Structure 1
């Protein structure tokens, strides 16, 4: 199903340079495969360069060593892309961790910090480091891979999240970190009107993150990420999208 908000949006030109973090398996590996197949030059970000190189070869992408929790690693990755291409057209902030799914009253600050370091601070760290390269693009795009579990509207409505059972997980670290990522998306979109900055919810996709319990395949889950990575300068910004349209904040 075509997302109404992006129906008819201009596509980015071939050979668009794209970076996807945490892309050596699952949903984002499929995203890398599809974007590379569409003509993008894809940098496949991975913490383990050996695993990243093998994954990149399998989809026609370029491996890039980047640990989103480490300032030096991110800075080195940005410098490498600058030396190779001089710019970046699309940034997909995907790297994420689930964190513990214990009841909220059992969660510690350390549990929260571990999830936020990747899911929130990692996205900010990477975005900030690559902004100079994004500013050199004629049509820069940032896609933050969020989750429906980060929706405050759904969390605050028992009927809404009851309808998601057994998909609804009351995970204080994960859910709140994705809600924070949504706010980051909105604020970046306002601060950077020349860029298209959006959050996406791929849906309940079978990946390592959920023990492959998701009902969707990675091919299905990748649809909205690929679509929002491919919008042109007239596409939406500051939005939160699923494959069916807008997601309530």
Structure 2
């Protein structure tokens, strides 16, 4: 049995990622705080270490295969396994009207929100498979739900957008496919909800704790927990 529970959270120097690292660290886990910006990442990790948490900074540009490979080596040197991979890093790409959006506007968003989780998952499979109960949490959004964005009673239906919404829909399908192909790893997509972060100019009505409830919840599920699902903090949500 693996004694220490380990986790990697990407895009974790602030916002939902940082709060997730803090909460998992408070459980006594060994948590790797992944961030592209070394200065901000080191500072964020240092603040949590000062609180007595077992947190380590890992430099990680999720759009760089070289950076991902280096992160695998770094974590592999520090731990024999990885229990939980949380693909949290994401960008919005802005919210231009669809009729003003070109294909080039989608590419950087898909690089970070779609291609990066695939590359990260692939790269960390050996360390995940070395864990007793590996889990992957894909941080998606209600804006990736066809049902929710088509519901006139939901806020998500009032925000027409091509890059971000389609990238999260793609991530949802990737989650579903992975879950079927990798039955020994619990893989779920989660919607944090409208949380006050820099991502939305702190306009969200949820606190960081509320926003990370579903992320932490699925990072900590037991072996009898679900896989291949799509959830928010209240339960399953429609694809």
Q: TM-score, normalised by structure 2?
A: 0.94
Q: Distance in 2 between matches of 1:97 and 1:47?
A: 13
Contact 1:167 1:204 in 2 (8 A): no
The unaligned stretches of length 5 or more in structure 2 are none
Deviation at 1:13, TM superposition (A): 8.0
- What is the Cα deviation at residue 228 of structure 1? 0.3
CA distance in 1 between partners of 2:43 and 2:4 (Å):
22
- Alignment root-mean-square deviation, CA: 1.5
SS of equivalent to 2:155:
coil
Offset, 1:166: 7.4
| Post-superposition offset of 1:14 | 6.7
Bigger relative CO (Cα 8 Å, ≥ 6 apart) = 1
TM-score, length of structure 1 as denominator length: 0.91
After superposition, give the CA deviation of every residue in 1:116-165 in whole Å (9 maximum; x if it has no partner): 0000001111111101110100100000000000001123x3xx2x2223
Instruction: Spell out, residue by residue over 1:147-187, the C-alpha distance to the aligned partner (whole angstroms, 9 max, x if none).
Output: 000001123x3xx2x22237842111000000000000000
Shift of 1:101: 0.7
Q: 2: CA distance between counterparts of 1:15 and 1:226?
A: 17
Q: 1:36 aligns with which of 9, 25, 40?
A: 25
Q: Does 1:120 align with 2:98?
A: no
Q: How does 1:141-160 map to 2 (within 5 A)?
A: 141-155=135-149, 157=150, 160=151
| Whole-Å separation in 1 of the counterparts to 2:41 and 2:228 | 30
Alignment match of 2:73 (pick from 73, 79, 91): 79
Which residue of structure 2 aligns with residue 97 of structure 1?
91
Structure 2 residue corresponding to 1:204, chosen from 166, 185, 194: 194
Specify the alignment match of 2:154 in structure 1.
164
Determine if the alignment matches structure 1 residue 174 to structure 2 residue 157: no
8 A Cα contact 2:2 2:132, kept in partner: no
Q: Secondary structure at the match of 2:160?
A: coil
Mapped to 1, the partners of 2:159 and 2:32 lie a distance apart of 32
SS at match of 1:91: strand
The runs of 5 or more residues in structure 1 that have no matched partner are: 1-11
